[in-house]
Structure 1
Amino acid sequence: MNQTLSATDRNNHALAMGRRVLEIEAAAVAALALRLGDEFKAAVALILETHGRVIVSGLGKSGHVARKIAATLASTGTPAYFVHAAEAVHGDLGMITHGDVLVALSNSGENDELLTIVPLVKRLGGRLIAITGNAASSLAQAADVHLDARVDQEACPLNLAPTASTTAALALGDALAVALLDARGFGEEDFARSHPGGALGRKLLTHVSDVMQTNVPSVIMAQPVPIALSAMTQGGMGMVVVYADAASTGTNANAAPVGIFTDGDLRRAMARLGDLRTIAVSDVMTPNPRSIEARRLAVEAVEMMEMHKVNQLLVVDDQGRLCGALNMHDLFRAKVV
C-alpha cells in the first residue's frame, strides 16, 4: 500500500479490507449451505453406523482446522481425535483401527501424506470422508463420501493464503458435528458430562448435597429472639432453624422444623415490635419453611429461591428429615449462579 497515505486513510483502508474479508468468507459459507445435499447425509449416516471412532487428519492450515473439528466432534457426543497427516506416515497410523472413519481435509485434495495413508486405512477396513475444494482430486475420488468445500476465492487479496477455504472447511465440520449431535439425541446433560469444568457442567452436574451446609444452627421456638440471634451469628448462614422442643433438634432428627428465623425476619420484627429481648422466636419466625431434597440439582435450588424470593432453603432427605441448609452465598461460591 502507498506509504504516503495519511494515518486516517490507512485506518480507513484497513477497515475496508477487514469488511471485505468477512464478506468473502460469509459468502463462502452461504454458498456451502446451498450445496449441502445427499453427500452430507451420507457422511452423517456413515459416522452413525460405525462401531469405531472418527479420526480427523490434515496438514498445514487444514491440519489446524482438522484438530478443531475433532475437538468439536468429541465434545458433542462423537468419539473423535486428531492425527497429524505427516505423523501418520511415521508411526501414528497405528492409532487407526478397523471400523474407524477417517475424515481427511485438504483444499487441493492432492496432499501427498494423506494420499499415502488412505490405501492403508482402507486396507484396515476404515472408511474415508474427504473434505476438499476439488471434487476431481485424488483424495475426493478415493473417498467413500466427498464433502465439497470449494470457494470462489480466498479472502487474501493475493488469492493465495488459505482464508475463505479454511473457514468453509471449519463450518462444514461444525455442520457435521451438530447434525450428529442432533441425530444422537445429545442433550444438555450429555454436554455437561463432557464439560464438567465449564459453567454448564457446574449447573447440570452439581447437586444440592454438594453445596449445602450440614452444621445448621437451631433454637427452640420458646426461646427469646436474642438467643436465636446469637445462634444465627455463630452459624454464619443468615438463618436459624426453629424446632418445637429440644428433643427434636438437629439434622436427621425425626421431627421436622416448625419454622426458620432469618435476617429478614429479624429486620421485619424490629420494625414491627421494636424491643425483641423478651419476644419468643415463635412469634417472629417464618413457619413452614421451604425446603428442597438433597438429591436435586443445585440449579433447581436457585430457581426455587428466585421464584419465592427467599435466600435460604432447608435441605431434606428422601424421608423429609432435615439434613442441611443452603443459602444463596453457597450457590455463588459453587459458581452455580
Structure 2
Amino acid sequence: MCFSFALTCTDGRARAGVLHTPHGAVRTPVFMPVGTQATVKAIPPRDLEELGAQIILANTYHLYLRPGDELIARRGGLHRFMSWPHPILTDSGGFQVFSLSEMRKIDDDGVTFKSHLDGSMHRFTPEKSIRIQENLGADIIMCFDECPPPTDREYNAIALARTHAWAVRCREAHTRTDQALFGIAQGGIFRDLREQSARFLTSLDFPGYAIGGLAVGEEKADMFQVIAWMDDALPAHKPRYLMGVGEPTDLIRAVQRGVDMADCVLPTRLARHGAAFTRDGRINMRNRIYAEDERPIDPECDCYTCRNFSRAYIRHLLQAGEILGLYLMSVHNIAFLLNLMRAAREAIVQQRFAAFAQNWLARYERTENPTHL
C-alpha cells in the first residue's frame, strides 16, 4: 500500500503513530508548516529539512490560480517543482473559496467565484478540486467541503448535507492510487451534526479524517469540545487531522484530545509581524526592551536563529526592515512548533504526557511574565 497509518502508543487520549506515504514516513503527532504557494514563506526546503519538518502543505486554490495546476503537472508535480522530496498535503481549496464571501456563489453542484488576483470568474466542483490535486501530486489530498460559520445551526445542517454529497463525488472522482484522500468532518459546534458527519464519512472508509470548520471564530472551549467529540466518533486506527490550528497551547490541548496532525500559517505570519514563540509565552521582538538584550529569542531553543543571534540583533533587523529579520523569525517560530510536537510525542511514548502538558501549559501561560504579550 502507498499509504498506511500505525497507531504505536497511547497515553490517555493522546496518541503517537506513524504515517507511511510514498515520499516517506511521518511520526505523529506532527505540526505541518504551510507552504501556501508552494513555499513556506521565507524558508528554503533545505532549512525545513534541517528543522526536521516531516510534511508540509500547499494550497489548491492559490496554485490553481497561479501558476496553474497543469503547469505544475508538466513540471513533474509539486515535489519536483518546489524541490521538496518529502510528504506533501494539499487542501481542497474549499476554505479559501468560502472565505471569499461576497466574491462567490454556492449551489449544490459547486462554487462559482471571482479570483482575488484579477477578478476573473472560476468554478470549483468536487471533481475539479480532485483533478487539480491529482495534477499537483501531493501524498495526501482533501475532499472538497463547505466551511460554514460554526455557530449557525440551520446553515450548518444545510452545508453538512452538501459536504457529504461532495465527499461521495470526490471519492468517485479520485483515480490516483499513490494519493490518500481524506474526508473532512463538519457540523459547526453542534454535537449531533458532528457525530452525524463522522458516521457518514466513516461509512465511506477514507484512509484518514480531518476535523474542519474550527478556529474560525468560535470560543476556544467549543473548539476543544468538538475535538473531544471527534476523538470518540472517528475510528481510532486512522489519522485525525485538525485543520488550521497552530497556537502552541491549542496544539497541546488538541493532542490531549486525540489529534495526530495539525497545520497553520500562524508561525510565519506572526514572524512577519515581529512576534516570536518562547517557552515563557509569545513576545514582541520590536519592543524596545530587547534593544540591548544579548539573549537568544528562546534560550532553550536550538534552532539556527537561537544558536547564532541575539534578540538585540533581530530587533535591529526588524526595525530596519531587513529581510533577514523575517527569515530568522520564521525559522525560529517554525522550529518552536516542530520541537513542541516532537516533545509531545516523546512524552506520549514515555507515558508522561499528562505531566508534560500540565507543566508546559503552566509555564507558557504565566501572565506575570513581564515579556508576555
Report the TM range for the smaller structure's normalisation: under 0.3
Higher helix fraction (1 or 2): 1
- Bigger Rg, which one: 1
Which of structures 1 and 2 has the larger relative contact order (alpha carbons within 8 angstroms, sep 6+)? 2
Normalized against structure 2, the TM-score is what? 0.21
Normalized against structure 1, the TM-score is what? 0.22
